[in-house]
Amino acid sequence: MLSHVQVFCFLASYTLALLLEASRLWFRRGGAGRLLALGLVVAGWIAHSAFLYYAAEHANGSPLSSYRDWMLLAAWALVLVYFYLACFHPAQNFGIFFLPLVLGLIAAAHWLAKAEPFPRGPASQVWGVIHGTSIMAATVTVLFSFAAGVMYLWQAQRLKHKRPARVALRLPSLEWLQTANARALVASMLLVGLAVASGMVLNLLSQSPGVPWSDPVVLGTLAMFGWLLLHVIIGAFYRPMRQGRKVAYLTLVSFGFLVLALALGMLKTKHGGEEQKQFIDLQNSNATRL
């Protein structure tokens, strides 16, 4: 079924969404037109994801490591950024600026970029760096949102009971903390998603049996990603979810998922051990050739 998904499928969806976005410059459209454009973007992104997954599954060499694949991945990520901006800032015409870049990347990938994959060794190193960096960055953003959430609840409690602020303890305004919380949660979702996707590619690149889906670290990471994704999707269409105490409490729950994932990572699991062994073996083989 996935083999029938072609570049034209998501290219056409993004093009129609761009035309709808452009029509807003000349015609006043209601919410139905905006929802239709977002629906086309979502449909295109699903087809885009299916195309990349099938390409990774049936790659002759290293999956998702050619110049064509990297350009399609960049377009895939840019669509996510546009979707976030379009959902949270519906009055703005972000599509006029983002969607042409997406279409340009897809066109260049399909007609200009080389499809030959990089050698498996260098590809594993690149994807390993992406995987590790995205996990580290996601950890930082979740911790930042947790700190901002605690500060928000502290400030809100003080204002509710009309307690005077301590001179030695100065905190940002509730508006700033609310915005920081919401944006940090979205950034965490994107980074955890990148970590999950890059981990799947590393599994495909592995010469030996990869990390199973039942691994505790994998399950903890997937649960965290599912929670963050659910919050972002609901918050995009239900504004109270990203306002006031609700978003602060959500950051506390996200911090709980992070602690769980880190605790599982310190247990004896297959996650990380096999990848580290492959990296060491690769370094040793390179040193031997030199």
Is the pTM higher than 0.95? The answer reads no
Q: Which residues contact 95 (CB under 8 A, 6 or more apart)?
A: 17, 18, 20, 21, 22, 37, 82, 86
Q: What is the pLDDT of residue 271?
A: 58
Q: Contact at 8 Å (CB) between 79 and 95? A: no
- Looking at 92, 111, 130, the residue that finishes a domain is 111
Comparing C-alpha atoms, which of 25, 17, 26 is closest to residue 92?
25
Based on the domain organization, do 101 and 173 belong to the same domain? no
SS (H, E, C) the chain: CHHHCCHHHHHHHHHHHHHHHHHCCCCCCCHHHHHHHHHHHHHHHHHHHHHHHHHHHCCCCCCCCCHHHHHHHHHHHHHHHHHHHHHHCCCCCCHHHHHHHHHHHHHHHHHCCCCCCCCHHHHHHHHHHHHHHHHHHHHHHHHHHHHHHHHHHHHHHHHHCCCCCCCCCCCCCHHHHHHHHHHHHHHHHHHHHHHHHHHHHHHHHCCCCCCCCCCHHHHHHHHHHHHHHHHHHHHHHCHHHHCHHHHHHHHHHHHHHHHHHHHHHCCCCCCCHHHHHHHHHHHHHHHHHC
Based on the domain organization, do 163 and 34 belong to the same domain? no
In sign, the C-alpha dihedral spanning 135, 185, 171, 168 is negative
> For 238-254, how does the pLDDT look when each residue is reduced to its tens digit (9 = 90+)?
766 666 677 777 777 77
Based on the domain organization, do 34 and 156 belong to the same domain? no
Q: What is the pLDDT of residue 290?
A: 41
Q: What is the pLDDT of residue 44?
A: 92
Based on the domain organization, do 91 and 168 belong to the same domain? no
Residue ranges for the chain with pLDDT beneath 70: 1-4, 27-31, 59, 61-65, 117-123, 161-171, 206-211, 213, 239-244, 262, 264-290
Q: What is the pLDDT of residue 16?
A: 94
Torsion of CA 83, 12, 6, 73, to 10 degrees: -30
Tally of structural domains, the chain: 2
Q: Which domain holds residue 275?
A: 120-289
- Looking at 51, 86, 111, the residue that finishes a domain is 111
Based on the domain organization, do 42 and 126 belong to the same domain? no
- Looking at 93, 111, 129, the residue that finishes a domain is 111
Based on the domain organization, do 150 and 100 belong to the same domain? no
> For 166-184, how does the pLDDT look when each residue is reduced to its tens digit (9 = 90+)?
544 566 777 877 887 778 8
Based on the domain organization, do 33 and 157 belong to the same domain? no
Based on the domain organization, do 57 and 139 belong to the same domain? no
